[in-house]
Amino acid sequence: MATTSTAGHASIGLEKTTTTAAVAGPLGALPGELKYVQYEHSLESAYLPAIRALISKDLSEPYSIYVYRYFLYQWGHLCFMALHPEDSSLVGVIICKLEPHASHSPPTLRGYIAMLAVSAAYRGHGVATALVKKAIDAMAQRNADEIVLETEETNVPAMRLYERLGFLRSKKLHRYYLNGNSAYRLVLLLKRIDPDAAADFALDDGDITPR
Ligand SMILES: CC(C)(COP(=O)(O)OP(=O)(O)OC[C@H]1O[C@@H](n2cnc3c(N)ncnc32)[C@H](O)[C@@H]1OP(=O)(O)O)[C@@H](O)C(=O)NCCC(=O)NCCS
């Protein structure tokens, strides 16, 4: 995902929560425990505008509503939101998909992290780490072989985050984004795979990837 460097957060209401996590970090403690919520279709009217606003703030190339719906309609169970404990406003979000990847032989079940953003005011507290771990767990539970993503080579916070969680650089994608910046494709292998198939990681470009 191609990014710029600013963000804020939007305020909305919500009932249903899944888990909570204590947060404290180098920028000072958050005002309590964030709520981590799995996205579901009934939350669209309450949260889709805030999701778009949060992600768009950091994008050099904004996505259309159809890109969000493409992911959220089919893989809402792989999308998670971090919500402010007091007003349930959106603090962070991760959007993913999981599909067979036919250009590997045999085909792998490939998870894909399409979008990740945390409100600027709440960065450095482990919110993105918690969101990525939830997404990894959800995809692993659904038998994913691997999880991939692209991130801008200059996006140091994102590169550090993913590499700390075990993602490896599989390929450099030169001038991948419309702004001319290059990207790295990162991969997290969840299972042992055929060494011949592993060679494909350096070759394939088969995803529908929002840019
Ligand atoms: C990249 C991004 C999602 C990271 O979000 P974040 O919530 O700040 O990430 P985390 O807090 O989990 O991790 C950031 C750092 O805080 C540290 N940290 C996490 N929890 C902590 C805690 N409780 N106490 C102290 N430090 C902590 C982490 O170790 C990490 O340090 P690192 O730089 O050594 O990796 C955020 O910067 C962002 O939204 N950027 C714009 C959008 C973007 O680039 N998205 C990714 C596109 S692929």
Q: Which CATH number do you get for residue 171? A: 3.40.630.30
Q: Decide if 1 is inside a domain.
A: no
Q: Decide if 211 is inside a domain.
A: no
Q: How much is the pLDDT for 5? A: 39
Q: 199 CA distance to ligand 1 centroid (A)?
A: 31
Confidence grade of residue 103 (pLDDT, cut at 50, 70, 90):
confident
Task: Compute the radius of gyration of the chain from its Cα atoms.
Answer: 17
Q: Decide if 86 is inside a domain.
A: yes
Please name every residue paired with 94 in a beta bridge, in sequence order, or none if there are none: 80, 116
Q: Give 112-156 pLDDT, tens digit per residue.
A: 999 999 999 999 999 999 999 999 999 999 999 999 999 999 999
Q: 25 CA distance to ligand 1 centroid (A)?
A: 10
Q: What is the mean pLDDT of the chain?
A: 83
Nearest residue (by CA) to ligand 1, atom 34, is: 160
Non-local (6+) Cβ contacts of 203 within 8 A are none
Total structural domains within the chain: 1
pTM: 0.84
Q: Give yes or no for a contact between 113 and 136, defined as CB atoms under 8 angstroms apart.
A: no
> What value does the mean pLDDT take over residues 173-188?
92
| Pocket residues: Cβ below 6 A from ligand 1 | 1, 3, 7, 24-26, 58, 116-118, 123-129, 151, 155, 157-158, 160-161, 164
Non-local (6+) Cβ contacts of 201 within 8 A are 170, 171, 185, 187
Give the residue carrying structure tokens 């959220």: 72
Distance (Å) of CA 192 to CA 61, 83, 105, 108: 36, 35, 14, 11
Q: Decide if 9 is inside a domain.
A: no
Nearest residue (by CA) to ligand 1, atom 19, is: 126
| Domain that includes residue 77, residue range | 19-202
* H or E element, residue 188: strand 183-189
